[in-house]
Amino acid sequence: MGAQWKAKHKDIAANAKGRLFGKLAKDIMIAARGGPDPAANARLRLVVEQARKVSMPKDTLERAIKKGAGLTGEAVNFEHAIYEGFAPHRVPVMVECLTDNVNRAASDMRVLFRKGQLGTSGSVSWDFDHLGMIEAEPATPGADADMAAIEAGAQDLEPGEEGATLFLTDPTDLDLVSRALPAQGFTVLSAKLGYKPKNPVDPATLNAEQLEEVEAFLAAIDDNEDVQNVYVGLAG
């Protein structure tokens, strides 16, 4: 939960898939500004691979690429916004939005944070490290994650999902390390900038009811159409 909050129980319902595809489509459109060909656009290639991994429909994927690259004649104007505050029981939260309506996003965040506490800029971010986060999996038998991190120039690493490794980098080294990992026997699955809590709250300090309140708050935030990523200071 420290790097990026994800629901404890994966929801595979159609509406959850739709939200996931919507977030990925935004990432694809923004990446496609650098060109519509994934072979020549590393950022786009990584997002397209993520989209295929979760079975995004081909026409949805291609439409997002064309729209982002300006091939449809439609204007794509997403603005980036960060909201900081606390979930119930003083669990720190950073919410990253990509929105075509900043006023709507700000209004929604004020409403959603009523069950927690919306802070000002800097009120929570001081307790998070801004890092490059690269999820990669072994491409060859016996690939050593620790050695790969050293050789590729990553700052640190931690276990990822389904046997993958999360390599952590300085923000300015994200692209450099992403390009170096394949030579160390790892296939890069995703690469992005994100936030990792310095002093995450131990879930054991919360009772079951309190933990449910935190999870319900985070789920409501994550469900918002403008929210791209939710980072929470909760260990585990």
- CATH number of the domain enclosing 23: 1.10.10.200
Inter-residue contact 194 to 165 (CB < 8 Å)? no
In a domain, 48, yes or no: yes
CB count, 10 Å around CB of 135?
21
pLDDT at position 3: 46
pLDDT at 13 over 70: no
Quote the pTM value: 0.82
Name the token pair of 113.
């944070």
Is residue 138 pLDDT above 70, yes or no?
A: yes
Which CA distances in Å does 83 have to 40, 86, 221, 226, 235? 33, 10, 11, 12, 20
Looking at the structure, do residues 118 and 208 belong to the same domain, yes or no? yes
Alpha-carbon span 181 to 204, nearest angstrom: 36
Residue 146 and residue 41 in one domain? no
Residue 8 belongs to some domain of the structure: no
pLDDT value of position 5: 53
Secondary structure E strands in the chain: 79-87, 91-99, 117-118, 128-138, 156-159, 165-169, 186-197, 227-232
Segment 120-146 shows an average pLDDT of 92
In which band, very low, low, confident or very high, does the pLDDT at 103 lie, cut at 50, 70 and 90?
Answer: very high
133 lies in the same domain as 193: yes
Rounded to whole angstroms, the Cα distance separating 58 from 33 reads 19
Q: How many other CB atoms are found less than 10 A from the CB of residue 195?
A: 27
In-domain check, residue 20: yes
Token pair listed for 118: 């919306």
Cβ atoms 167, 229 nearer than 8 A: no
- What does the pLDDT read at residue 39? 87
| Per-residue tokens: 141 | 């038998």
Same structural domain, 193 and 140 = yes
Shared-domain flag, residues 91 and 37: no
The parent domain of residue 22 ranges over: 14-68
In the listed set 46, 68, 90, which residue is the last one of a domain according to the structure?
A: 68
Q: Tell me, what's the pLDDT at 166?
A: 94
Same domain, 106 and 190: no
Q: In this structure, is residue 36 part of a structural domain?
A: yes
Residue 3 domain flag: no
**pLDDT for res 167:** 96
% residues pLDDT > 70 (the chain)? 94
The b-or-e profile of 104-114 (16+ CB within 10 A means b, else e) is ebeebbeebbe
The amino acid present at 208, given as its one-letter code, is A
Whether 118 and 221 map to the same domain: the answer is: yes
Last residue of a domain, one of 22, 37, 68: 68
111 domain-assigned: yes
Q: Could you tell me if 145 and 205 lie in one domain?
A: no
Whether 122 and 217 map to the same domain: the answer is yes
Q: Is residue 42 part of a domain?
A: yes
Number of domains the chain contains: 3
> Does the pLDDT at position 7 exceed 70?
no
For 68, the enclosing helix (H) or strand (E) is helix 58-68
Segment 36-58 mean pLDDT: 88
Q: Which 3 state secondary structure label does DSSP give 201?
A: strand
Whether residue 154 sits in one domain with residue 50: no
User: For residue 186, what are the β-bridge partners?
Assistant: 138
Q: How far apart are CA 230 and CA 2, in angstroms?
A: 10
